[in-house]
Structure 1
Amino acid sequence: MNERLGQLQELLKESPQDPFLHYAVTMEYVKLDNRLDALAGFENMISNFPDYVGTYYHFGKFLEKEEQLNRALEIYQQGMEIAKSKRNMHALNELRGAYNLALGEDEEDEF
């Protein structure tokens, strides 16, 4: 285990309800190419912290890399709904762009 991951996991023990720490640990797993723990982390984020909008973009990209395009598209769509409900237009536009790119469409196309 790398040092950063260990530090994040220690912080997570102290603040287990902090969505950012869960997200940071998950992204560390992605960087380490630990696909099983990364997948578990993303699933945990979607289940326990569904309003953490940043998860959806990175989870979708992860799923695309894992050649799970249909699931990635579902995650992007789910994220777009959350972003709309939160009025987070920046996240909505990023997710819409990722969704369209995954479909092989121009980023300007509508959802």
Structure 2
Amino acid sequence: METNNSRLAQLLAFLEDDPHDPFTLYAIATEYRAFDLEKARSFYEKLLTEHPDYVGTYYHVASLYLELGEPDLAKAAYQKGMHVSRQQGQQHAFSELQQAYNKLMGLDYEDD
């Protein structure tokens, strides 16, 4: 945990220097994810509001919503993420989001 605390402290210092850097916000959310889901949620949601084109957010916030028992929010996050990633031509991100969305919706018909 000590390593995480020093990394988190460093990221929070970066955020003070540049409060609008999407990567720093994303990294902080990811750090908090390990031990404070509500704090992680607040940083992911800040990203969604301030940087809706930051594609990396959608998969992780949807996963967090599922962990918090909020499948409707997860569904909406996957859908928005698929839309944004498609607009940006980020096919790999789109594919990952679509696969997770299909699984959530019970549409993953993979043959074993």
TM > 0.5? yes
Provide the residue aligned with 1:67 in structure 2. 69
2:52 is paired with a residue whose SS is: coil
CA contact (8 A) 1:5 1:28 kept: yes
Identity of aligned residues (%): 37
Q: What one-letter code is carried by the residue in structure 2 that aligns with 1:31?
A: A
Task: Tell me which stretches of 4 or more aligned residues in structure 1 moved more than 3 Å.
Answer: none
After superposition, where does 1:1-111 map in structure 2 within 5 Å? 2-32=5-35, 34-106=36-108
Q: Structure 1, residues 36-77: CA drift from partner, whole Å, max 9, x if none?
A: 211111110000010100000000001111111111000000
Following the alignment from structure 1 to structure 2, what is the Cα–Cα distance between the partners of residues 47 and 90? Answer: 23
Following the alignment from structure 2 to structure 1, what is the Cα–Cα distance between the partners of residues 69 and 109? Answer: 20
Following the alignment from structure 2 to structure 1, what is the Cα–Cα distance between the partners of residues 43 and 20? Answer: 14
Following the alignment from structure 1 to structure 2, what is the Cα–Cα distance between the partners of residues 105 and 10? Answer: 43
Q: 1:107 to 1:82 in 2, by over 3 A?
A: farther
Following the alignment from structure 2 to structure 1, what is the Cα–Cα distance between the partners of residues 17 and 44? Answer: 20
CA contact (8 A) 1:96 1:107 kept: no
Following the alignment from structure 1 to structure 2, what is the Cα–Cα distance between the partners of residues 86 and 35? Answer: 29
Give the TM-score normalised by structure 1. 0.91
**Cα RMSD for the two superposed structures:** 1.4
Q: What one-letter code is carried by the residue in structure 1 that aligns with 2:15?
A: L
Q: After TM superposition, give the deviation of residue 78 of structure 1 in Å.
A: 0.4
> 5+ residue gaps in structure 1?
none
> 5+ residue gaps in structure 2?
none
Following the alignment from structure 1 to structure 2, what is the Cα–Cα distance between the partners of residues 90 and 107? Answer: 20
Following the alignment from structure 1 to structure 2, what is the Cα–Cα distance between the partners of residues 6 and 99? Answer: 34
